[in-house]
Amino acid sequence: MSAQPPASDGSKESPGKPENARKAPAAKSGNASGPERLSLIGAKVNSALRAEIDEYAEAHGITRSRAAGQFLEIARETLRGREGVSAGKAEEILEVVLADVVYAHDVGVG
């Protein structure tokens, strides 16, 4: 293994990384100034899921990375949906339902 020459600014490079290696960008919250930057993550998946992601990527003409990102976004939405309805939304729905019941009772329906 050969030693890497020191960086031009005098700082030390980490061993094993090329001088031109970039750090992963920090995730930004979504805002109106532009698209959100994507962050690199690593994940180990079973071969069946990898094959499904590969098929999805090929069918949609996108990279495996983009396909995996879309899978993760769908999973996030699904998991949030399983968490249930927020208390505020539940109260709003209940008010509408109760108003309909009261109205139906007042007009003699049901």
Q: Could you give the dihedral angle defined by the CA atoms of residues 48, 41, 81 and 45, in that order, rounded to the nearest 10 degrees? A: 20
pLDDT tens readout for residues 80-106: 887 777 778 888 888 888 887 877 777
Report yes or no on 71 lying in a domain. Answer: yes
22 vs 15: CA distance, rounded Å:
14
Report yes or no on 102 lying in a domain. Answer: yes
Report yes or no on 1 lying in a domain. Answer: no
pLDDT recorded at residue 90: 81
pLDDT recorded at residue 53: 95
pLDDT tens readout for residues 33-73: 567 888 888 889 999 999 999 999 999 999 999 999 999 99
Provide the residue range defining the domain that includes 95: 47-107
- Mean pLDDT, range 21-42, rounded to an integer: 62
Distances from the Cα of 62 to the Cα of 10, 34, 85, angstroms? 41, 22, 34
Q: Map tokens 């995996």 to a residue.
A: 68
Report yes or no on 62 lying in a domain. Answer: yes
pLDDT recorded at residue 109: 63
Report yes or no on 31 lying in a domain. Answer: no
Report yes or no on 57 lying in a domain. Answer: yes
C-alpha distance across the termini of the chain, in Å: 84
pLDDT recorded at residue 101: 81
What's the domain count of the chain? 1
